[in-house]
């Protein structure tokens, strides 16, 4: 069974940190670019951060630049999102997704529809 599982979400105070993990089972994640997306009630899903197959290409939403860092460990079949300086506006369900199978090692698929495998999401709540 092909699956992505997110973990690491929770409740944190403003200014705090969390590290989200996304682990693949049933397939090799190193063939894919991976993106983190988030969605809060009443808002559209937005792309937060993306990492290419090699890890050499990354992209961040303007709202998280300088605060979030994406990384991957293919030996663990996992991608991570380190989130520092969290703000209440970061509250959302965070999803990881894999896409761009077998494409260039620095390629970052530009569209949400390019990502075919999705996890179930993990809740991040930033509140005092």
102 pLDDT exceeds 90?
Answer: no
In the numeric block, the tokens 């994640």 are attached to 29
pLDDT digits (tens, 9 = 90+) for 6-58: 999 999 999 999 999 999 999 999 999 999 999 999 999 999 999 999 999 99
* Bridge partners (DSSP) listed for residue 93: 39, 123
Distance CA 123, CA 117 (A): 19
How many Cβ atoms from other residues are within 10 Å of residue 88's Cβ?
A: 11
> What is the rounded average pLDDT of the residues 86-111?
94
Identify the residue with better confidence: 97 or 110.
97
What pLDDT band is residue 110 in, cutting at 50, 70 and 90?
A: confident
CA distances (Å), 35 to each of 11, 15, 127, in order? 22, 23, 25
pLDDT number for residue 1: 82
Read off the tokens for 51: 């990492």
Q: Record the tokens describing residue 36, joined without a space.
A: 């983190």
The per-residue pLDDT for range 71-95, each reduced to its tens digit, is 999 999 999 999 999 999 999 999 9
Average pLDDT rounded to a whole number, residues 101-115:
91
């Amino acid at each position: 069974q092909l699956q992505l599982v997110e973990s690491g979400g929770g409740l944190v105070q403003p200014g705090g940190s969390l590290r989200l993990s996304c682990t693949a089972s049933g397939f090799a994640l190193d063939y894919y670019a991976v993106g983190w997306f988030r969605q809060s009630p009443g808002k559209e899903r937005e792309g937060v951060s993306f990492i290419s197959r090699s890890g050499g290409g990354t992209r961040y939403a303007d709202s998280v630049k300088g605060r979030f860092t994406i990384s991957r460990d293919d030996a663990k079949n996992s991608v991570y999102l380190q989130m520092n300086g969290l703000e209440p506006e970061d509250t959302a369900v965070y999803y990881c997704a894999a896409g761009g199978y077998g494409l260039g090692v620095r390629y970052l698929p530009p569209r949400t529809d390019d990502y075919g495998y999705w996890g179930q999401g993990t809740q991040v709540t930033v509140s005092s």
